[in-house]
Chains A and B, each alone.
Chain A
Amino acid sequence: MGSQYRHPVPEREADKSGAPPGLPRLPPGRHGLDRDFVVKNQRDRLTAGIIAAVARHGYHGATVSKIVAEAGLSRKTFYSYFSSKEECYLQAFDLILDHLVATMREAGGEHEEWPALVRDRIEAILETFIANPDLVRFAVVAPVQAGDEMTAHQAVGMERLLAELTKDKQADGARRVSAAVEQAQIGGMMAVIAHRVETGEEKRLLELLPDLVELFLTPFLGEAEASSTASLA
């Protein structure tokens, strides 16, 4: 199929279906918005569309038709931006990861020590997920159902979160923890979060904070210090 439409065509039939919540709707017909705005806007809508469609129907159930229906755009527009659902999925996944990493970086005071920073960073992850639980369904739950390629991509994402969580660690004399244990820690944390969302308890995600902080810190700091940091959470 490829991207045969070099210049994305401004969508003219956007009003036919409901716009995804929280995203602006383009006025119908030819309008005065410049092309960059339209491109950005349509891309965002397709990103929001695939997140909603995958969250609702799973990776395999989220067809391009369902994605464009969520976005209120046409298939033709979809294929002017992405050559396939896979490409669209991977780009949306990376955007979510960028966003998570950015919020983790903003979290935490400048003079905080590493354990407190970990608490703030995990809190930032949980708050992002509470604001939009579909991100958990899309980025944590869906890849393992989608097959090896998507799971490999997800594993890279997990590595990014892990690197962000462990940043600034050396300064505090934490113990060395093997890569295998670190992988189990981030995997376990995400699985617990996913389980909460799948059982409809997404509003209570923040209650997990003390547990997640303690369990993450224990191999690095020992139980006593990990639980004292967690109790502040």
Chain B
Amino acid sequence: MEDHQRTRVIAAAVGVFAEKGYPATTVDDLVNAARVGVGSFYALFGGKEECLVAAYESVMKEARGEAIAAADGSAAWAHQVAAGLRALLGWVQREPIKARIALIEIQSAGPSALEAREETLAEVTGFLARGREARDLSRPLPETLEQTTVSGIAWLLHRRLSTRDVATLDSLYGELARLILVPYLGEEWAEREIAARAGALTG
């Protein structure tokens, strides 16, 4: 029962936070949208920040699922990166409300929200950093490479969502894949991986 209600509140909260923005959202807004009592809300969440973090975890679970489903876990790292990127761009394009929670609202709340976001960033940068193993290390890559790439793309998506300009996000696949992969693979290899993925998914 409680699980069912929790799911319902989270689903409603995604819509409310995305529409009003986290700072302007009140617990009243959340309980009204979810049609639950204030008491039930506080039985589930300590407050609106905890509810936002739960909404964030829920949308991230979906996004992560999309990326994992698209990327063959046994395939080479570069394949997985390219397929995962493509899946994520598609998800943001199809689910701008959920993506808004994942990329924008989570940044307007307090420390526990920022911590949840840091965990996601660490997970993604950690996965990208595995590309360093594939590289012949004549010269080390910049230490901040993954952080720069991931937060840079997050900023780009943030702006697109904020200006409601997501209809053609999937067309950025090639140039963003290049931005991510070239440092690890060099240009020639990276192009080959990107073309392979683009063909596999559109064909």
Which residues of A approach B to under 8 Å, CB–CB?
A: 60, 144-148, 151-152, 155, 178, 180-181, 183-192, 195, 208, 210-212, 214-215, 218-219, 222-223, 227, 230
Contact = CB atoms under 8 A, between A and B. Distances in A.
Contacts of A181: 175-176, 178-179
* Size range of the chain B interface in the assembly: 20 to 34
A219 B155 contact: no
A151 B148 CA distance: 19
B162 to A, nearest CB: 5
Contact of A210 (B142, B151, B152, B187): B142
Contact of A144 (B107, B143, B149): B107
Contacts of B144: 192, 208, 211-212, 215
Nearest to A198: B114
A145 B108 contact: yes
A200 B85 CA distance: 32
Contacts of B187: 222
Contacts of B24: 147
Given A60-B23, A210-B142, A214-B142, A180 B148 contact: no
A218 B144 CA distance: 14
Contacts, number: 101
B147 interface: yes
A188 to B, nearest CB: 3
Contact of B142 (A146, A148, A183, A215): A215
Contact of A191 (B147, B175, B179): B147
Given A180-B175, A185-B152, A155 B159 contact: yes
B23 A188 contact: no
Contacts of A208: 144
Contact of A189 (B107, B148, B159, B178): B148
B148 A192 contact: yes
A187 B172 contact: no
A214 B163 CA distance: 30
B195 interface: no
